[in-house]
Amino acid sequence: MIWFWTREHQRMRLETRYDNDTSEFVVVIQRDDGREESERFSDIAAFRQRLVALEQQCEAEQCVQSGAPVLLPEGFPNQPLALETTGKTLAAFARACDRIDTWLMSNP
């Protein structure tokens, strides 16, 4: 998924996806000035914690989400994630989906 955040005249693009080749969750942050940061997580819980921290940081910096998130169909796992390697994957993924759904419902 891609989220866009704005503050005054600054924009930030936050992309989240799953890299099927490396079995990692990926966060890519692109800023207006051309800087790009990429972070990879093998654990969905750490990935989710990072997303929550980024959201809190954006809100603390008085950024607001602009527009609805864009779904990237290729950004999802191409096979079920193994519970034995990812811990509480399904529950964490369900909570993340609930958060996204809640946001979409409140921002038509």
DSSP letter string over 19-73? ETTTTEEEEEEEETTS-EEEEEESSHHHHHHHHHHHHHHHHHTT-EE-SPPBP-G
pLDDT per residue as tens digits for the range 41-95: 998 889 889 988 988 888 898 888 887 777 766 666 666 555 444 444 445 555 5
- pLDDT, residue 59, reads 86
pLDDT at res. 106:
64
Are residues 39 and 16 in contact, defined by beta-carbon separation less than 8 angstroms? Answer: no
pTM: 0.66
Closest CA relative to residue 46, chosen from 20, 21, 25, 71: 25
Q: Which two tokens stand for residue 62?
A: 């008085």
Once rounded to an integer, what is the mean pLDDT over residues 10-37?
Answer: 89
- Does residue 36 register a pLDDT over 90? yes
**For residue 94, what are its two tokens?**
């369900």
pLDDT of residue 37: 94
